Structure 1
Amino acid sequence: MALPVQQQAKYWGLSAAVFLLMLWLLGDVILPFLVGGAIAYFLDPLADRLQRAGMNRVAATATISVGMLLMAVLLVLAVIPTLISQLSALVNAAPDIFRQLQTFLTERFPQLSDETSTIRQTLLSIGETIKERGGELANTVIGSALGVINAVVFMVVVPVVSFYLLLDWDNMVAKVDSWIPRDHAPTVRRLARDIDRVLAGFVRGQISVCLVLGTFYSIALMLAGLQFGLIVGAIAGAITFIPYIGALVGGALAIGLALFQFWGDWFSIGLIAAIFAIGQFLEGNIITPRLVGNSVGLHPVWLLFALSAFGALFGFVGLLVAVPVAAALGVLLRFAFEQYKTSRLYQGLEAPPPDDEDPR
């Protein structure tokens, strides 16, 4: 006999509170384990496919791990140093870019030369801030990234955790399934399948979209001659998973830099704008529909709220768990609404008349 609803709500609410408390207290400690688990979840379908092709689980996991290691080495040797150098150069060049903007505006809008002009004073204050904080910002961005990752520990723990989780993924799923209360096992399994479908459709698909678009933007902008094309393309691709933000930030940054670098060469400026227009067309009409699909059920506004709330409460770790939690809550809320629509509270004491019967 199942427990009363009040007791079930108490136990599940206590579990949720313990989860949030652990996230609050152990955020930095569990970060490598969260990342390792996310990598294992992302790669599990590939391991299953290799198993169906004839490999055992150990061989499939080893093959995937070697492939990922080679990709990581390639990134470290060929891409990441260039990204860091371009990021530092971009931040250090910000004061000069701003001075050019100020000169450009002053020449074309002489009223800005009035020292009492509010716009002029605002531009001067922004310029002074950039001059004072430009180099500090570059060091802070790079230093904070290394601090969040906790370099050595992160690089050692994450591959080990992801390897063992990927190796034992199916066994862990079976073990968790054996812990489900028997009275609720069919319902919990159904909800778990729905959550997995949403996560598989969004997380795996969106990561693929970010990689494809980041690669496209970086290569296209570098071929177009944009000075900081690689870092701009990487930024635009990395934040594509945030609805609307990736295109706006990447496009504004690229076109703004193009205006300073190619001022007067309208063909080059138009080419930079066309690259982002083509990228958005490909994302909305080809890449996202194919890789993510239209049936994920994770609304952009709900995703933005989850990212904002969990990021503010739990920092970087909160951003990592925001999407899975948003997906799970979305599925649970839809299930609760389905239950409400079939409840006596919604339908009333009298059953609705059959479809073939005149309700009058």
Structure 2
Amino acid sequence: MLDMLNRWYQRRFSDPHAVSLVAILIAGFIVIYFFGNLLAPLLVAIVIAYLLEWPVAKLVTLGLPRVISVILVLTLFVGFMLLASFGLMPTIWTQVVNLIADIPTMFNKVQVFVSHLPDEYPEIIQPHMVNTFIDTLQSRVLGIGETVVKGSLSSLVSLATLAVYLILVPLLVFFLLKDKEEMLSMFKAMLPRNRKLTNKVGHEMNEQISNYIRGKVTEIIIVGIASYITFALLDLRYAALLSVATGLSVLIPYIGAAAVTLPIFMVALFQWGISPELGYLMLAYGIIQALDGNVLVPVLFSEAVNLHPVAIIVAVLVFGGLWGFWGVFFAIPLATLVKAVWNALPSHEVEEDAVAESSN
């Protein structure tokens, strides 16, 4: 057993460049894992900088100085975000308040519906089963209420954190874009000299992450707008809130789409009951999800979709458990990184097979 492990180690880590690559990855993992909360503004700024680097580079190729390009793009981005926030947030907040106010009515309808089930299906459903279900549902609703109260009590802290983000993040994005080359040079100076594999993987992942962030933001916007148009045309309640939830659900591959289906179905069920409108809505929602998964995702993530769905789901679970939102957001790039690193590590199995064949 030890001899087998020793041979595997020699195959994979005999090259000093491979050792440097693994050491850099371990150091990065430790920093993010233990100091991720402290570095959250920097992580947000890096994501936005990746998103805005493409238009900045395009303006630079047109002849504008980089500083002017950065100021112009960042100003337009901040203006768009403020316009979207002030235009969308009041509507979403109003719909959230209305939804919370409607929860007791929905709960009463569920109780009435469930209480009649033993009369209609006495062979399958017993009264004690209904009572257990209602008690469980009631405790869950109370739990949601307690969570909302706790969230409102901690809102002042959240507002203070948001205020800090609103100041720090644009400044960090500005300097990350303006002094990109200088910062990269400083970062490379801190790395080991034997970093041929690190440079190879880093170049590949830089392109992957840049394309992934732009593609993911584009996917959120397209899916959210398509969902809002569909919900509004069908006159579904809380259309803006549910369309935002549908757009954001694409952050979690496969799992997100399944999770957001339930609230959409429940809202439609309480609004229309078992009716053709409910069927039309779920059919339209299914078409949106099908087009997203089979048309939009392959177009936007032509390289990332080479990962097996099981690998993507495992990456979401593992990295989401380690780093929360950021782990979920970067699950696909991180899974791609693991694959790229494994392929980049040297392996002498082919060479050993070739030597064995020549000796025979």
SS across alignment from 1:349: helix
Q: Which moved more, 1:125-134 or 1:47-56?
A: 125-134
Q: Aligned residue for 1:38?
A: 47
SS across alignment from 1:227: coil
* Alignment of 1:69 onto 2:75: no
Residue 163 of structure 1 and its aligned partner are, at CA, apart by 1.4
Whether the 8 Å contact between 1:87 and 1:138 is mirrored in structure 2 is no
SS across alignment from 2:59: helix
Q: Aligned residue for 2:177?
A: 166
Matched residue type, 2:289:
Q
Which residue of 301, 315, 328 maps to 2:337? 328
Whether the 8 Å contact between 1:217 and 1:279 is mirrored in structure 2 is yes
Which residue of 153, 156, 168 maps to 2:167? 156
CA offsets 1:156-211 (integer angstroms, 9 cap, x no match): 111111111111224433554566656543x4333223212332343321221122
TM-score (norm 2): 0.82
SS across alignment from 1:55: coil
Whether the 8 Å contact between 2:20 and 2:198 is mirrored in structure 1 is no
Q: Aligned residue for 2:264?
A: 254
Q: Measure the CA separation in 2 of the matches of 1:308 and 1:231.
A: 26
Residue 62 of structure 1 and its aligned partner are, at CA, apart by 0.8
Q: Measure the CA separation in 1 of the matches of 2:24 and 2:358.
A: 38
Which residue of 104, 121, 133 maps to 2:131? 121
* Alignment of 1:206 onto 2:216: yes
Aligned pair in 2 of structure 1 residues 348, 53: CA closer, same or farther (>3 Å)? same
Between Structure 1 and Structure 2, how many residues are aligned?
346
The structure with higher relative contact order (CA 8 Å, sep 6+) is 2
Matched residue type, 1:159:
P
Q: Aligned residue for 1:220?
A: 230
Whether the 8 Å contact between 2:49 and 2:176 is mirrored in structure 1 is yes
Which residue of 192, 210, 222 maps to 2:202? 192
Whether the 8 Å contact between 1:236 and 1:249 is mirrored in structure 2 is no
Aligned pair in 2 of structure 1 residues 235, 329: CA closer, same or farther (>3 Å)? same
Q: Measure the CA separation in 1 of the matches of 2:166 and 2:153.
A: 16
Q: Aligned residue for 1:54?
A: 63
Residue 262 of structure 1 and its aligned partner are, at CA, apart by 0.7
Q: Measure the CA separation in 2 of the matches of 1:192 and 1:24.
A: 20
Matched residue type, 2:86:
L
Residue 76 of structure 1 and its aligned partner are, at CA, apart by 2.1
Gapped runs of 5+ residues in structure 1?
Answer: 354-358
Matched residue type, 1:27:
G
Q: Aligned residue for 1:349?
A: 355
Whether the 8 Å contact between 2:316 and 2:327 is mirrored in structure 1 is yes
Q: Measure the CA separation in 2 of the matches of 1:343 and 1:38.
A: 41
Which residue of 18, 43, 49 maps to 2:27? 18
CA offsets 1:186-245 (integer angstroms, 9 cap, x no match): x43332232123323433212211221012112321232111221111112102132212
Whether the 8 Å contact between 1:201 and 1:296 is mirrored in structure 2 is no
Residue 95 of structure 1 and its aligned partner are, at CA, apart by 3.5
Q: Which moved more, 1:16-25 or 1:38-47?
A: 16-25
Which residue of 298, 307, 317 maps to 1:308? 317
Q: Measure the CA separation in 1 of the matches of 2:266 and 2:157.
A: 30
Matched residue type, 1:272:
L
Matched residue type, 2:253:
P
Q: Measure the CA separation in 2 of the matches of 1:317 and 1:295.
A: 17
TM-score (norm 1): 0.82
RMSD: 3.3
Q: Aligned residue for 1:271?
A: 280
Matched residue type, 1:292:
F
